[in-house]
Structure 1
Amino acid sequence: MKGRVLIIAGSDSGGGAGIQADIKAVTALRGFAMTAITALTAQNTLGVHGVSGVPIDFVRQQIAVVLDDLGADAVKTGMLHDVAVIEAVCDELAARARGVPLVVDPVMIAKGGHPLIAADAVATLKARLLPLATVITPNLPEAEALVGRPIRTLADMRAAAEALRGLGAPGVLLKGGHMDGAELTDLLVTADGTEEFTATRIETRHTHGTGCTLASAIATGLAQGMSLRDAVGRGRAYVLAAIAAAPGFGAGHGPLDHGITVDTDRIPR
């Protein structure tokens, strides 16, 4: 076991996304997962049926006691549903985790379409959290909400990724899974340039939790001392394998098989 990853995110009672997916992904890649839960959801493969926020002081306490005792080699954020929780997370990380790689998955909309962030919190996310990030991992709908324009082509993706870097994050992994076509392309944009990661689309409805899983896999790689590029490559390979092996649970968007491998040496990069 190598690499301590603190995950600050919401819980998914269905087990496919959120904290549950994060813990499984980090564990499968031989990291050590720790958590600060920001919200509880009543959720299954058909959608989000209810959300209950965790008191802000308790969110702060979870982060503080973990970092002050166990420490972290990387931090990953997921569902931060309102202004207060974003402000609290940013304050705690600035005070206790300076210099620790931060992967921000800007969770905004659930797979079934349920909003997971208050409308007035998007500006706070952009102003306070994104500048703290090592890399952000938006999908296309999230990127559209952040840059305020539609993204329909690869050229649009390139322009949007550069605009997102302009918000303060040195690295942007813009995921192209919502684009039509037999192939999907993700763009990793950093100060060193742009790299395309392309894969054949797996035709399945069982993709619940892919964003959470990928972000946590990347955070694990960074916690283990990998470069951002290698962490992204390994993370994508792991997620694709987990989608291909999805167990088919539920009547809607089902979960991945997060236990597809615990042998990281066999995951191509």
Structure 2
Amino acid sequence: MSNIPNVVSIAGVDPSGGAGVLADIKSFTAQGTYGCGVIAALTAQNTQGVTGVHVPPTDFLRLQIDTLFADVPIHAVKLGMLGSAEIVSTVAERLAHWRAPFVVCDPVMVAKSGDHLLARSAVAMLIEALLPQTFLITPNLPEAGVLLEARAPETVKEMYRAAERLRDMLPTQSERWVLLKGGHLPGNEIVDLLFDGDRMIEMPAPRIATRNTHGTGCSLSSAIAALLPQTTASPAPVEEAVRRATQWLRQAIARSGELAAGQGHGPVHHFHALWK
């Protein structure tokens, strides 16, 4: 039997490759896992913006998931752009059916360009049907505001309260985590918060000056999903997976200037450790 985990992304497709399923597959590969993909949305998109979104029929989405899970043992799931309430409901139903492990939900709602990627009607369905199955949720500050129906946190102190409220939205009877990303706060330091309902772990890091931040949320959450099955023997498996994924992403951002993909918010360099 292979020791290489199989990880699936259920998300949208960004043709420019910086975000969505294509970025997730790159992240899975960079973490030493075998990547699979289920297409939950098609976008017309580049580094400068989104010009169109098309979602597949739910019957075909269900068929994608069932056909994959019936054959390939899946060790972790990354959820990204799920563009409608019907899509969210279908994904939640099938993940429950297959008892999917290590579900990492990146609640993709707004692109770097400011384009909205998640219909408002889908937010309530995400909270009702998907969060109960989520092992780790990775919102940024605007996404946290949408989920909590409140103003986005504007200080680290406000982030603490938001992380606590987000954790209250997850099942309380089992291990569940929130990673609240603080990149939208001003200043030269970024503080992320990792919270399991008991421990609040601050993860500060210097801000990297670059425009190449397209798909950072997708890439981080997928890297975490890929690492979770590999850190189970660690004394602090979730914290280790998040720290390793964050360190990898920081290097991917720092070396993003080696790429020349687009004229807007460029992608990160997923393979900085593999390419000479």
Q: How big is the alpha-carbon RMSD for the aligned residues of Structure 1 and Structure 2? A: 1.3
Deviation of the 1:225 alpha carbon = 3.7
2:164–2:197 CA contact under 8 A, matched in 1: no
Check if 1:172 corresponds to 2:178.
yes
Distance in 2 (CA, whole Å) between partners of 1:58 and 1:223 is 28
Distance in 1 (CA, whole Å) between partners of 2:255 and 2:99 is 36
Residue 266 of structure 1 corresponds to none
Distance in 2 (CA, whole Å) between partners of 1:230 and 1:115 is 32
- Between 1:82-91 and 1:216-225, the stretch displaced more is 216-225
The equivalences for 1:1-269 within 5 A come to 2-98=4-100, 100-150=101-151, 151-168=153-170, 170-226=176-232, 227-246=237-256, 247-262=259-274
Structure 2 length normalisation: TM-score?
0.92
- Between 1:85-94 and 1:244-253, the stretch displaced more is 244-253
Extract unaligned runs of 5+ from structure 2: none
1:73–1:224 CA contact under 8 A, matched in 2: no
Residue-pair matches, total: 262
Deviations 1:139-175 (A, max 9, x none): 0110011112221000110100110111115210000
Deviation of the 1:244 alpha carbon = 0.4
Tell me which amino acid in the other structure corresponds to 2:126: L
2:138–2:179 CA contact under 8 A, matched in 1: yes
User: SS of the counterpart of 1:81?
Assistant: coil
User: SS of the counterpart of 1:207?
Assistant: coil
1:161–1:189 CA contact under 8 A, matched in 2: yes
Tell me which amino acid in the other structure corresponds to 1:121: A
1:5–1:223 CA contact under 8 A, matched in 2: no
Deviation of the 1:9 alpha carbon = 0.3
Deviation of the 1:262 alpha carbon = 4.6
Tell me which amino acid in the other structure corresponds to 1:160: A
User: SS of the counterpart of 1:76?
Assistant: strand
Tell me which amino acid in the other structure corresponds to 2:47: T
Deviation of the 1:97 alpha carbon = 2.4
Structure 1 length normalisation: TM-score?
0.95
2:103–2:133 CA contact under 8 A, matched in 1: yes
Structure 1 vs Structure 2: percent identity of aligned residues? Answer: 46
Tell me which amino acid in the other structure corresponds to 1:83: A
2:14–2:45 CA contact under 8 A, matched in 1: yes
